[in-house]
Amino acid sequence: PTLLFVKVNRGKEETRRFYACSACRDRKDCNFFQWEDEKLSEARLAAREAYNQRCRPPLSRTQCVERYLRFIELPLSQRKFCQSCQQLLLPDDWGDHREHQVVGDVSVTQLRRPSQLLYPLENKKTNAQYLFADRTCQFLADLLSTLGFRRVLCVGTPRLHELIRLTEPGDKKSNIKSLLLDIDFRYSQFYVEDSFCHYNMFNHHFFDGKAALEVCRAFLQEDKGEGVILVTDPPFGGLVEPLAITFKKLIAMWKEGQSQDESQKELPIFWIFPYFFESRIHQFFPNFCMLDYQVDYDNHALYKHGKTGRKQSPVRIFTNIPPNKIILPTEEGYRFCPLCQRYVSLENRHCEHCGSCTSKDGRKWNHCFLCRKCVKPSWIHCSICNHCAVPDHSCEGTKDGCFICGELDHKRSTCPNIGTCKKANKAVRKQKQRRSNKMKMESRKGQSMNHASVTRKKKRREGAHQYLCS
Ligand code: SAH
Ligand code: ZN
Ligand code: ZN
Ligand code: ZN
Ligand code: ZN
């Protein structure tokens, strides 16, 4: 299943709607394109079906499970993993992988940590697989246990999933069950049906049909829905709206299992996302609170903890759990603000004028009396623009925001989408959107159609933009 988008031409009233892939935000990864009203010939449908079949994972979910069960029965010396194919090998397969990079003696511990055995799929416009640093992952697992959860629905959090399942028997945490929903099919080699579903979180699609959906439903509804939390860390590509719709579908699924008198209850959620998406997330989940905790990653050049001190990560946890229940590690500098009733970053000062701890990025912000709010430490009040901005801004151009994604509160160098978009088309679109004050639509990479020639593509990039249809 795809998503419906709309193509808008600058200065023209008419728009045209089309279907495109929801998971791949780059036409190079998936070039599916179809006008909404397009009639396809039998031949084209057949060709598409053949193509789709070729793109399917080589093994069915059931086959994967069978292979896994056979694999764990093998003696250590026969347990091999092909790094070239990212696949666990059974003795029958060895011949085919003789020329490949194969590692042997795959231990039980390695099998239980697939995120360390597999390489992360960093391809930014599809998987954007950024794995939690150990410190963050341990913090999350401990927090879930402290908060008393017994089941965790991990949507796009393979490393958290494995850590939850890794804890030794006897440990309080070992009572926590976890179900991983992820588009990365490689994980299906390491888990049986009740702990992994191949899933697209941009359109709530279960690749293995009804059986997989039922696994998810049963997981959410177990114990009448008591003790379960949804934890998600989606790619930061910017498709907030379809993600929100998906989470609302999962919430509805959980709600079905509730009795009447519990209708007020909410499914607890941790949505891990950059702080500059706060207003966007609030449009869909107004009661979500953004925690100050900085989520760190292993393989992200920008958000990982350097040897030379901390590189501040812009990634935060958005949640509907009351923030006073969430204790952030004091050894990392977080402290409790009794006025705000939440833990905040060391340098996040409580502003008496704003009545809250106002910093979003972890640095100390300053109150501007003219703007009547706190602003980033590097900003100064500009009397031409009538608000605070970076000192070297150009006064007409201040609304341009980040060159890559168009958001106002960060620069290109700290954008989580860095490298994903060579052209500034997304920023252009954002500006345009802002100008016309139509913020209801979700932006999407303004890529050209797959049949256009390069020059036409260029022209169109300047004039045509694409949005997700609400
Ligand atoms: N920090 C997490 C990983 C987050 S990276 C951890 O360490 O556990 C984003 C994850 O979402 C990846 O595992 C990726 O495979 C998955 N993902 C990307 N696009 C997806 C989609 N459309 N549907 C479901 N999962 C997706
Ligand atoms: Zn191989
Ligand atoms: Zn203030
Ligand atoms: Zn100001
Ligand atoms: Zn100015």
Tell whether ligand 1 has an atom less than 6 A from the beta carbon of residue 125.
no
Tell whether ligand 1 has an atom less than 6 A from the beta carbon of residue 188.
no
Number of the ligand 1 atom closest to the C-alpha atom of 127: 18
- Ligand 4 centroid–CA 272 distance in Å is 30
Q: In testing the pocket of ligand 1, which one of 24, 126, 129 has its CB within 8 Å of the most ligand atoms?
A: 129
b/e map 184-218, b = 16+ CB within 10 Å: bbbbbbbbeeebbbbbbbbbbbbebeeebbebbbe
Task: Note the pLDDT of residue 425.
Answer: 47
Q: Supply the residue whose CA is at minimum distance from atom 9 of ligand 1.
A: 129
Question: Which residues are bridge partners to 231 per DSSP?
Answer: 154, 270
- Ligand 1 centroid–CA 418 distance in Å is 18
Q: Supply the residue whose CA is at minimum distance from atom 12 of ligand 1.
A: 129
- Ligand 1 centroid–CA 80 distance in Å is 26
Residue 304 has pLDDT above 80, yes or no: no
Tell whether ligand 1 has an atom less than 6 A from the beta carbon of residue 118.
no
pLDDT tens per residue, range 377-388: 999 999 998 999
pLDDT tens per residue, range 165-207: 987 666 655 689 999 999 999 999 999 999 999 999 999 999 9
- The structure tokens listed for 470 are 């609400």
Residue 211 has pLDDT above 90, yes or no: yes
Quick one: angle between helices 134-146 and 158-166, nearest 10?
60
Task: Note the pLDDT of residue 261.
Answer: 72
Number of the ligand 1 atom closest to the C-alpha atom of 202: 22
- Ligand 4 centroid–CA 385 distance in Å is 9
pLDDT tens per residue, range 390-439: 998 888 754 556 655 666 666 655 666 654 433 344 554 554 444 443 33
Max CA separation in the chain (angstroms): 74
Can you give the pTM of this predicted structure?
Answer: 0.83
